[in-house]
Structures are given as C-alpha cells and as structure tokens.
Structure 1
Amino acid sequence: MLSKLDIKEKNFHGLLAVGCLAGIGEGSLRYGFTLHTGFPGMALTLVAAFLGGFTGFFLKDLGRTLRGLPPYRCINHDGWVMGAFMGAFLGTLVQLADSASGANLVVGSMVGAFFGAMTGAFPDEVITPILELMRAQDRAKPRHGSL
C-alpha cells in the first residue's frame, strides 16, 4: 500500500524528528514537559538545513565556475539531506554534552544541520550513483529461502 522510502526521505524525516526532539527537550528544560515547542525546533532546523544546502551548492558552483567548468545542476539532493540529518544529530549531541543544563539544543541542531548540509552538498553528484549501485547490488543478492 505505502511505497518504501528512499534514503533521502528517511534522512528528511530523521532531520525533522531531531529538530522536533531538540525543541521538545529545550522547551521541557525551560517550562516543564511541553510539546508545543517541537514544531518551532523542527521548522528552525529545516530552515537551517535548507540554507546550508543552498550555501554549499553556491560555493560548489562558484568553485566550478572559477575553474572554467559548467555549474552543477543538482537533481537528487541526496548528499545535503544526508549531511543535514547527521549534522543536526551530532550538533544536538554536542550541545547536550557541552551545556551544563542542556540548554540551546535547537541552536546545536540548527548549526549542525547548516554545516552538515553545506558539506554534504559538495559530494552530492557522486552520492546518488553510489546509492543506486548499492541498491542494485542489494537486489541481486539471493534472499534466504528463495530458489
């Protein structure tokens, strides 16, 4: 009934979940247990990831143009979404470990998502072919119990 999620969709949902949990955690530290701070944390993390991806693609195109190459026209966006998720996760963990009270978790999530998306934009053109090759190899493996 439902289609299977690809790697970009899984990482996008993970990015939203990390931002939401960071917002809930920070709001709960400040106001007691609360759920209404989840959406702002999720939205801020998503905006930071988008701006990081935009910045990474801008810098990548600037470097390609200065070298005389045509600009990269991204199609799949797998690299920056994967980088944004991992950056948001690690940024939240670093902020949690660094702060004595666990405050500013959303800021750690945002900064991590920005830098993760920015660095993930640079290898974006090679990540999707690697993922497709891995998917083709996975389909070629015989399953247990099949003839």
Structure 2
Amino acid sequence: MLPRLDIKEKNFHGILAVGGIAGIIEGSIRYGFTLHTAFPGMMLTLVSAFLGAFTGFFLKDLFRTWSGKPPYRGINNDGWMMGAFLGTLLGTIIQTANSADGANLVIGSMTGAFIGAMAGAFPDEFITPILEMMQANRKKPTKKAPR
C-alpha cells in the first residue's frame, strides 16, 4: 500500500524525528510536558541541515575550482542527508551527555545536523553509486551450493 522509502526519505524523516523529540524533551524540561515545542525543534534542525549542506557544497565547489576541476552540482544528495541524520543523532546524544539537566538539546541537534551535512556533502558523488551497488547485490538471487 505505502511506497518504499529511499535512503534520502528515511534520513529526512529521521532528522525530523530526532529534532522533534529533542524539542519535546527540551520544552518539557522548561515548561512541563509539552508537545508544541516539537515543531520548532524539527524546523530548526532541518534548517541547520540545509545550511550545513549548502556550506559543504560551497566549500567543495570552492576547492574543486581552485584545483582546476569543474564544480560539482549535487544531484542525488544522499551523502549530505545521511551525514545530517547521523550528525543530528550524535549531536543530540553528545548534548544530552554533556548537559547536567538535559537543556539545549535542540542546539545539539542543530549543531550536529550542520556539521554532519557539511561533512556528508564532500563525498556526495561517491555515496549514491555505493548505495546502488549495495541495492543491486541485495536483489541478486544467490545460488545455493549443492549438497
């Protein structure tokens, strides 16, 4: 019934989920149990991921043009989305571990999303072929050895 999600969609939803949970926890620490702080946590984390990807692609194009190569234009964007999700998750966990009262979790998720997306933008053209190769190997029927 529902279509299968690709890797970008899974990571996008993961970024939203982690940012939303961080927003709920941070808002609940300050004001008691709240759900209305989920949306700002999601949006701030998502905007940070997009800004990190923009920064990463800008720096990548800058380095490529300085070395005489043509600029890279992100086509598939799998690398920065995967990096943003991992960064969001790790940033939130690190902020939780470093904070005595669990405050500023959204700041941790935002910082992690920015750094993860920026780092994921650099190997972006290599990530999609690797994922496609993994998908092709998964779909191949394996021959069983005769007994």
Across the aligned residues of Structure 1 and Structure 2, the Cα RMSD in angstroms comes to 1.3
AA partner of residue 121 (structure 1): A
1:1-60 C-alpha deviation (Å, 9 max, x unpaired): 221001111011000000000000000000011100000000000000000000000000
AA partner of residue 70 (structure 1): P
Q: Percent identity?
A: 72
SS of the equivalent of 2:75 reads coil
Residues in 2 aligned to 1:132 and 1:3: alpha-carbon distance in whole angstroms: 18
State the partner residue of 2:27: 27
Structure 1 regions of 5+ residues with no counterpart? none
Alignment of 1:1-147 (within 5 A): 1-142=1-142
AA partner of residue 77 (structure 2): H
Structure 2 regions of 5+ residues with no counterpart? none
- CA drift of 1:141 comes to 3.4
For normalisation by structure 1, the TM-score amounts to 0.96
Q: How many residue pairs get matched?
A: 144
AA partner of residue 111 (structure 2): V
- CA drift of 1:122 comes to 0.1
For normalisation by structure 2, the TM-score amounts to 0.96
